[in-house]
A and B are shown apart, each in its own frame.
Chain A
Amino acid sequence: MYDTIIIGAGPAGMTAAIYASRREMKTLIVGREIGGQVVWASEIENYPGFKSINNFDLIGKMQEQVQSLGVEIKNDEVKKIEKTAEGRFAVYTSKDKYETKTIIIAMGLAPRRLAIPGETELSGKGVSYCANCDGPLFRNKTVAVVGGGNAALDAAEILSKIAAKVLLVHRSQEFKAFETVVDEVKARPNVEIFLNSEIKEIVGREKVEKIKIKNSQTDEIREEAVDGVFIEIGRIASTDLVADLVERDARNQILVDEKCQTNAEGIFAAGDVTQVEFKQITIACGQATIAALAAYQYLQLKQGKAAKMVLDRSVNHSAPRV
């Protein structure tokens, strides 16, 4: 029986584990991908203590710290969560079952999909959600980038240096990205911009061969031959796992209060998966701190103990006992 199981192994999950284990809670992390969305970043320049740190170095340091505290990280996907007797939970992966008194959800966000024909079938066969990862495989080819925010414009910029030609497809008239990036992309001779346009279908047998682009103002549909499609239309909370357990907003983000509690007793959430407006590593860590301490407090209260002093030892070690 665990005191807490943390779902997600990104910065929020790691931070929650550090705080929980320092309160001597029996803690387990189950995470689909160690590092979470940080894996998709490159250099990180807004994490205090490091002027600039490589994403893997940061993940490695967090992982090392968590493991040195004796917390096990299971690299696996949670498939099901069940409420059991007395407000306890059973957490299932494809093979294992774990029991816990509390849950901290820190699953982060996943790339949003277009949900058009051909997208799933050709995923990994030209359809990609990571220009940094797959871009170099498209040297001297023609690729499309979908989206109008910073991620899409950044992808177009990276790809314009690798691919022979880049088609940038955006559904509205104006880009949402920073002006400097937009100007840079517009200045590239090998980028063709399709505004007010949406990709309706990705066509190909063994690999991506062409796309059908519909202009929403003229209703005209154009076919363009491409080798790859990079989808950069934002990230979404993928929280169907807990749909029956906790309250979510219209974007499937988990609703938490100021103590990172969900509406379900014993279930807490932290980081990008919550309704927090700014999706930042430092915020995820901060929320995870709250979630872990609140989970501790919850367990203390359940045991009938006073839980006024929920202080971490890092700030409490020299304080006089009252």
Chain B
Amino acid sequence: MRFTEENFQQEVENSKGVVLVDFFAEWCGPCKMMGPVIEDLERDNKTKENLKIGKLNVDESRSVAEKYKIMGIPTTILFKDGKPVGQTVGYQTKEQLQELINQHL
């Protein structure tokens, strides 16, 4: 799914369960390579009810990127019950992200 400034509070911060957010930008090479990885992860985890996976464009949703001090992209943050519990910076493989998710599910 797509996270934005408008829906971030509702979909992530006030959400029960686990949410993986991929902070990306159009101009960032490694972010582009992460795109399909995130989409694959979404597909693989579709049936899990207490898990959401999606992307946030740091240009369009600057306030969220600033709030979470995003200073390198791609960054992924794993939220549990609205609180960040895990973070990665730089390109990650599907296996690495799945492992991060599984640790907190």
- Seen from chain A, the residues whose Cβ lies within 8 Å of a Cβ on chain B are 32-35, 39-42, 55-56, 59, 75-77, 93-95, 123-128, 130, 132-134, 136-138, 206-208, 227-228
Contact = CB atoms under 8 A, between A and B. Distances in A.
Interface string B58-101: 11000001000111110100000000000101110111000000
B91 A33 contact: yes
Contacts of B32: 39, 56
Contacts of B65: 137
Contact of A207 (B58, B71, B73): B71
Nearest to A127: B72
Interface string B29-71: 1111100010000000000000000000011000001000111
Nearest to B66: A137
Main secondary structure, interface of A, reads: loop
B29 A55 contact: yes
Interface of B: 25, 27-33, 37, 58-59, 65, 69-73, 75, 87, 89-91, 93-95
B27 A137 contact: no
A124 B30 contact: no
Question: Which of B29, B31, B70, B71 lies at the interface centre, i.e. has the most chain A CB atoms within 10 A of its CB?
Answer: B71
Instruction: Point out which of A41, A75, A77, A137 has the most chain B C-beta atoms below 10 A from its C-beta.
Output: A137
B28 A124 contact: no
Contacts of A77: 93
Nearest to A77: B93
A194 to B, nearest CB: 22
A41 B33 CA distance: 13
Interface core residue of B27, B28, B72, B91 (most chain A CB under 10 Å):
B72
A125 B72 contact: yes
Contact of A94 (B29, B75, B95): B95
Nearest to A126: B71
A35 B29 CA distance: 10
Contacts of B72: 123-128, 133-134, 137
A220 B65 CA distance: 37
A133 B95 contact: no
Contacts of A127: 72
